[in-house]
Each structure stands twice: as C-alpha cells, then as structure tokens.
C-alpha cells in the first residue's frame, strides 16, 4: 500500500520509517498530484496552525477534503489529530480542520513545551501497554457516537478510531514500537 505522509511541516521522516518497517511504501505529499497518487495518508505532528495555512496555499485543502469524505484511510498524530478533527478548541479563528473523525480536540490541552510528558498507555486491542510521548499535546474533549476511544490519559481520550481514521494525541513515530501504526494500516486495509 502506498501511504502518503503529509510533508508540509512536522515530523515526516519518522513516520516514513515506521511505515517502511511495516512493509508499506511511504511517499511525501506536498502537492495535489502527490495526494492523488496515494492510498492512505498520515498527517504528522507539527504546528497545526502552520499546516492549516500551508494546506490552503499549496492547493491541497480541497482535494484533501474530497479524499477524506470519500473514505481515504488517514492517521493523524498530535497536530495531525487536530487537522483531522471535526472541531478545534483553543485554535485560531482561521484554522481549518477537516472533519474526518467526529471529535472535538483542545489544542495544547496538556500545556506548554515544559509540560510535555511520557506515559505508558493501556490501548484497547493491544496486549501490553504502549509508551506514549506527548509534546505540547492536545486531547479529545468530546467524541461522537461512532468513535471508539482506544486509550486515555486522566480520563481524556488520546487515541481514537472511527472506521479507517485513527488519531493519536501522542507521537507513536518517535518510539520504536510499531503497534499503533499497525492498527492504522489494518484499519485502512
């Protein structure tokens, strides 16, 4: 499967490495033509306001919206979770999110850079805990009826799935454990 990694800004290469480890073929996506050539898309961590602007200026906003509404599998981590959410709280007024998953996300919900943390997560469907790295992380404030919450921190959902769309508030690409990426590839296959 050819899996695009949105390469406008953020942690692109670690995702590509995780995907290669699992036998998928990663491809950077910066243009509408590149988006048209992939079967699924990872939206990496980065700064969601920056990504939102670059999606507009690169002409990807419309095509991305279309692909997501026609059911393209997608995996958003950290800022990527914000980009894929239905609603962004504490975002900027002009910040766009794409409604691929029915959740409301609060930006920088766990605080500033110095409040970044790591935590062992109990993930539904995984036998052993998963070590999550949270950097200026968002969390989910509200989930729609068709969204499964797979993991939470202090009662706040941090890993959610809805059909072929998976979102994580943490950075599974920064640890060598590939199980969360596998969940995405399995959901999308």
Partner 1 sequence: MLKGGVIMDVVDPEQAKIAEDAGAVAVMALERVPSDIRRDGGVARMSDPEMIEGIKAVTTIPVMAKARIGHFVEAQILEALGVDYVDESEVLTPADEAHHIDKWAFTVPFVCGATNLGEALRRISEGACMIRSKGEAGTGNVVEAVRHLRSITGDIRKITQADGAELFEWAKRLQAPLPLIQEIHQTGKLPVPLFCAGGLAIPADAALAMQLGAEAVFVGSGIFKSDNPSARAKAIVEATTHFQDPSMLAKVSRGLGPAMPGLEIGSLDQTFADRGW
**Torsional class of 186: left (φ above 0), alpha (ψ -120 to 50), beta (otherwise):** alpha
For 105-153, the three-class secondary structure string (H helix, E strand, C coil) is EECCCCCCHHHCEEEEECCCCCCCCEEEEECCCCEEEEECCCCEEEEEE
Q: Residue 20, interface with partner 1 (CB under 8 A)?
A: no
Task: Tell me whether strands 2-6 and 25-29 are parallel, antiparallel or unpaired.
Answer: parallel
Any catalytic annotation for residue 181? no
Any catalytic annotation for residue 173? yes
Mark 167-180 as b/e (b = at least 16 C-beta within 10 Å). bbbbbbbbbebbeb
Q: Residue 36, interface with partner 1 (CB under 8 A)?
A: no
Q: Tell me which stretch binds partner 1 (CB under 8 A): 16-24, 106-114, 140-148, 153-161.
A: 106-114
Q: Tell me which stretch binds partner 1 (CB under 8 A): 65-73, 84-92, 151-159, 161-169.
A: 84-92
Any catalytic annotation for residue 171? yes
Of the residues 17, 39, 47, 148, which one makes contact with partner 1 according to CB under 8 A: 47
Q: Residue 10, interface with partner 1 (CB under 8 A)?
A: yes
Residue ranges binding partner 1 (CB under 8 A)? 7-12, 30-31, 44-47, 49-50, 53-54, 57-58, 78-79, 90-92, 107-108, 112-114, 135-136, 171
């Amino acid at each position: 499967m050819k899996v695009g990694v949105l390469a406008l800004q953020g942690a692109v290469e670690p995702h590509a490495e995780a995907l290669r480890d699992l036998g998928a073929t990663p491809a950077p996506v910066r243009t509408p033509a590149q988006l048209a050539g992939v079967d699924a898309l990872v939206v990496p961590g980065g700064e969601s306001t920056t990504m939102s602007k670059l999606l507009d200026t690169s002409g990807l906003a419309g095509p991305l919206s279309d692909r997501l509404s026609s059911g393209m599998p997608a995996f958003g981590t950290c800022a990527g979770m914000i980009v894929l959410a239905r609603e962004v709280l504490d975002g900027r007024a002009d910040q766009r999110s794409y409604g691929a998953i029915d959740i409301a996300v609060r930006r920088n919900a766990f605080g500033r850079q110095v409040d970044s943390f790591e935590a062992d997560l109990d993930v539904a469907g995984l036998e052993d805990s998963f070590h999550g790295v949270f950097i200026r992380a968002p969390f989910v404030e509200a989930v729609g009826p068709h969204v499964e919450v797979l993991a939470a921190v202090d009662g706040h959902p941090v890993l959610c799935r809805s059909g072929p769309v998976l979102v994580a508030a943490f950075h599974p690409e920064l640890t060598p454990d590939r199980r969360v990426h596998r969940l995405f590839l399995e959901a999308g296959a």
